[in-house]
Amino acid sequence: MKASRHTIAQLPKIELHCHLDGSLSLQMIRLLAEKAGIALPDSDEALRQKVTAPEMSESLTDYLAPFDFVLPMLQTAEALTLAAYDLIRQAQADAIRYIEVRFAPTLHTAGGLTLIQVVQAVTRGLAEGEADFQVKANALLCGMRHESLDTVMSVVELFASGDLDHVAGFDLAGGEADGFLASFAPVLEKVKALQIPLTLHAGECGCAQNVLAAVQAGATRIGHGVAIKDCPDSWQALIDQKITLEMAPTSNIQTKAIDQQQNYPFKVLFDAGVRVTINTDNRTVSATTLNAEYAKIADWYDLSESDFRQIGRYAYEASFMTDEQRAALAAEFE
């Protein structure tokens, strides 16, 4: 039986792929702008236009423009803590039990914070959110693909610097060129040496080959990975290795990763046995929530409640949560 919207909204969920800077509520943007002395449009409609990507972006680059608008507001420890807490509050409304929140520490040092101070400020907000809401959370640290090798390496080295509380893994994000992994080989070797759980944005706007290279490099999860639809010969290998795709329907169409809904490969991959999951990518930039993304998938395809529970189980199994967090959620997801 096709799952109803009501059932889906209530389902306990896990979100693996959500960017902090793309997911600030309008209310939080107003607060942070005031603290930073940045003027904003009076009407929410005008503000929304500045922080939301057009429904049909010309490209991934176009989609990324709203991030530049909020970044100047995220340059103090207080702002980062508030933003992270605000995201946990939003997660609660989606019935999320566990979320991984990703961000690039190097984008938040313009106000004088060190990388470790940035990370601590965000994870403090996550921990405060955990205490107040029924949501568990960890951070994923991103290197940006347009950055130099040394800069990205400085983020990886944070993992070696001591125990980072509430930090679960590493990712490479930003514009995607075909074959990008080759230039990050030393970073990926270091990630492997430090045994850092790895997810990589790949096959979002680049080619299927990027997905396979990311798996080869040790990623157990792929950010988006939708390009793999062009390479059905490789699906069995993804299934065998339990690789999980972090898909985000609204974002994937906005960025032109997929040209139209009919070609979205979620169901065909799910039916084939590939581990697919549902994510927002960016709540504000894509003007969405996790419940809205689930509802979209439910509208597009004939999926039952047990299918949605299976998708939740894929997210649970692929998450980088601690043993303690996993044990706490086992009853709902195993």
Residues marked as catalytic: 204
Q: Which of residues 25-44 bind Zn ion (CB under 5 A)?
A: none
Pick 21 or 86: Cβ nearer Zn ion: 21
Q: How far apart are CA 147 and CA 80, in angstroms?
A: 21
Rg of the Cα atoms in the chain: 18
Please state the closest distance from residue 19 (CB atom) to Zn ion, in A.
6
Q: How far apart are CA 160 and CA 52, in angstroms?
A: 36
In the chain, the N- to C-terminal Cα span, in Å, equals 21
Whether the Cβ atoms of residue 53 and residue 62 lie closer than 8 Å to each other: yes
Selected range binding Zn ion among 59-67, 149-157, 209-217, 280-288, rule: CB under 5 A: 280-288
Task: Judge residue 25's burial from the number of C-beta atoms within 10 Å of its C-beta, 0-12 exposed, 13-18 middle, 19 or more buried.
Answer: middle
Q: How far apart are CA 144 and CA 105, in angstroms?
A: 10
Q: Which of residues 50-89 bind Zn ion (CB under 5 A)?
A: none
Please state the closest distance from residue 122 (CB atom) to Zn ion, in A.
16
Pick 130 or 281: Cβ nearer Zn ion: 281
Please state the closest distance from residue 140 (CB atom) to Zn ion, in A.
10
Residue number closest to Zn ion, CB atom? 281
- DSSP secondary structure code for residue 39 in this structure: -
Q: How far is CA 209 from the centre of its chain?
A: 21
Please state the closest distance from residue 142 (CB atom) to Zn ion, in A.
9
Say how many residues touch Zn ion, by CB under 5 A.
Answer: 1
Whether the Cβ atoms of residue 60 and residue 204 lie closer than 8 Å to each other: yes
Selected range binding Zn ion among 41-49, 79-87, 164-172, 278-286, rule: CB under 5 A: 278-286
Write the single-letter amino acid at 23: S
Per-residue x/- mask for Zn ion, residues 229 to 268, rule CB under 5 A?
----------------------------------------
Pick 125 or 203: Cβ nearer Zn ion: 203
Q: How far apart are CA 317 and CA 96, in angstroms?
A: 15
Pick 102 or 275: Cβ nearer Zn ion: 102
- Both structure tokens of 257: 């990763």
Pick 224 or 229: Cβ nearer Zn ion: 224
Please state the closest distance from residue 317 (CB atom) to Zn ion, in A.
20
Nearest residue to 245 via CA among 208, 299, 284, 289: 208
Selected range binding Zn ion among 27-35, 41-49, 252-260, 279-287, rule: CB under 5 A: 279-287
* Binding positions for Zn ion, rule: CB under 5 A: 281
